[in-house]
Structure 1
Amino acid sequence: MLCLTRRIGERIVIGDGITVQVLQITGGIVRLGVVAPAGVPVDREEIRKRKNKEPRHGL
């Protein structure tokens, strides 16, 4: 795992099309913005786990 320190407004670039920017830090809460190509799903971990558990009807 890569661990980085970033300040508000600073970005992390992943590959050729994904950018993560620190938008706000309030207490222990960090707000991030993610820019990714339309075909790349971006979810919080708990949402992704829930999606993976749900049956996919019609597929």
Structure 2
Amino acid sequence: MLVLSRKKNESIIINNDIKIVVVEIRGDKVRLGVEAPREVPVHRREVYDAIQKSLESGDTAVES
């Protein structure tokens, strides 16, 4: 895993078209902004896990 240090308003670029920005740091919480093409799904981990679990069980009610 690559670990990077960033300050507020600093960013990282992934694959030339995804930008992650540190929007706010408050205590032990960091708010991130994500700029990505519409065709690139972006989810919080718990949402991603729920989608994967739903897909594995054959449930089509959960949208990605």
Supply the AA of the counterpart residue of 1:56: T
Show CA shifts across 1:2-58 (max 9, x none): 10110000000000210000000000000000000000000011100101112126x
- Aligned 1:1-59 pairs, distance under 5 A: 1-54=1-54, 55-56=59-60
Q: Distance in 2 between matches of 1:31 and 1:16?
A: 22
Give the aligned CA root-mean-square deviation in angstroms.
1.0
- Deviation >6 Å, runs of 4+: none
